[in-house]
A and B are shown apart, each in its own frame.
Chain A
Amino acid sequence: MKELICIICPRGCHLTVDDELNVSGNTCPRGAVYAKQELTHPTRTLTSTVRVVSELEAMLPVKSNKPLPKEKIFEAMEVINKTCVKAPIKIGDVVIKNIFGLDVDIVATKNILR
């Protein structure tokens, strides 16, 4: 038996998972998916910033467009911190493609016009 707090939404359900990975305490199906994933191979969506050459802003906020394996988060930060992009930038523009070959892109989360 393992107890977890669901981090999928701000509700924060208290989940209980037994040895056969049966989940209880979740109030939506995403909780069950999260609990199984968390106990087998935990992942996190990463949000950060990269430097941007722009008249308006110093930093461009970015995120991983899919959750990354938890153990890759700090390595991903190293790549992100070496990245610099040029305005104009639109939300969703790919800043780093297919990071570590994991089929995850780091994408812009803000429009910077110039």
Chain B
Amino acid sequence: MIKKRLVIIGGGSAGMAAAIKAYELGERDILIIEKNNYLGGILNQCIHNGFGLHEFKEELTGPEFMSRFSKKVDELGIEYRLNSNVLNISDDKVVTYTNSKEGVVEVKADAIILSAGCYERNAGAIQIPGDRPSGVYTAGQAQLFVNCYGYLVGKRVFILGSGDIGLIMARRMTLEGAKVLGVAELMPYSAGLNRNIVQCLKDFDIPLYLSHTVKKIEGKSHLEKVTIAKVDEKMNFIEGTEMSFDVDTLLLSVGLLPNVDLFNKLPIRISRTRGAVVNQAMESDIRGIFACGNVLHVHDLVDYVVEEAREAAEGAVQYLNGELKHEGHVYEVSPGNGIGYVVPQLVYIDDVKEKLSFKFRVRKPFKDVTIYIKEGEKVIKKLFKPAIIPSEMEIVKLDKSLFSKEANEISVYVEEKK
């Protein structure tokens, strides 16, 4: 069996950023395992721009962003395997992977970072009523076809879900000559970034139907018609609000789920992010197994993925050097009023070096709100925001010195100005 100090599963932006950071912190015995025949992950097909404003202070496309990281991985001589699929992680940290050259390989790792990204919720996951014709794709699938293979999947398109990939694809399909008839969003607000509503929908006069969803799809062998209707607060269809569109393509942009299959067999708790429960070092319930990026919780900006990957790499290197003690005061972190989730869920405060960051999303849009972070009953941080929406993750960085260790709970909540 091969031995490695640090095995990183997934060579996308999270995996590469974690590997580079671990290297910079002195770790040399690193292996990245990547299923595709290139490093970079999903950014390879995200040819639009808007990446890297935090990281590089310039606006890059996905392939440009990823190439900066893959170049660095090569320059540092960090080892990686392409075309390699991880089959299993055991609780004693043996990673089993397979590829066509080496067959099945077992690697005994001292530490593991899972950075396997996320996958799209598909038609089966949302149970659309009606026929089962061809012509129904997830937005990411259609994106791969047009951007990497040069195939436009349809000419008359409707999009269900206002996630960013759906919005980006509305623009992309329009530019390539398709007619996008509309986007329906179940919630009364968009799931995508405001800038994408403007530059992907408004620029091309594509209507966004809020509080609407697909009621029926029809088509004998290929999709012919999509009928949408308005929903009330209880998500029930409102009679008489139906609208039909003659389309050959329905794109689904209805959410992303962390790809945690490799954790399912392990005694690792899964949180409400659908990723692993982690502590301040991005470490799961098994000591030495870490997670970061979209496999931990779905991010809206790759810049934040990179930041989180560096936190996981720091944690892994701390662990490898015997500096993660898991001793002393421990906090449980929970989402309070208006908050959907908070990462991390556990904090061993004595293992924190200087700063600790909390990442969270609100459950619904708020205006003029104050975000509070409380230790027990004591407010340790207060932040005012003119507007806050679920599609934009918030990050609050706190100094270690703010924590008094007098309680064991930390909660994050919002209060609207009355």
Contact = CB atoms under 8 A, between A and B. Distances in A.
A and B are partners in one complex rather than unrelated chains: yes
A5 B176 contact: no
5 contacts: A8-B195, A12-B195, A51-B150, A61-B62, A63-B47
Interface of B: 47-50, 53, 59-64, 67, 146-150, 175-177, 193-195, 197-199, 203, 300-301, 387, 392
A45 interface: yes
Interface string A45-64: 11111010000011101010
Contacts of B195: 5-10, 12
A36 interface: no
B194 A47 contact: no
Given A14-B387, A91-B64, A59 B149 contact: yes
A17 B303 CA distance: 30
B338 to A, nearest CB: 20
Interface residues of A, number: 31
A92 to B, nearest CB: 9
Given A12-B194, A44-B199, A44-B203, A49 B147 contact: yes
Nearest to A80: B175
A12 B386 CA distance: 12
A77 interface: yes
Nearest to B60: A109
Contacts of A73: 175
Contacts of A9: 50, 53, 59, 195
Contacts of A10: 50, 53, 193, 195, 300-301, 392
Contacts of A61: 47, 61-63, 147
Nearest to B200: A7
Nearest to A92: B64
A83 interface: no
A4 B197 CA distance: 12
Interface in A1-48: 4-12, 14, 44-48
A30 B14 CA distance: 29
B197 A5 contact: yes
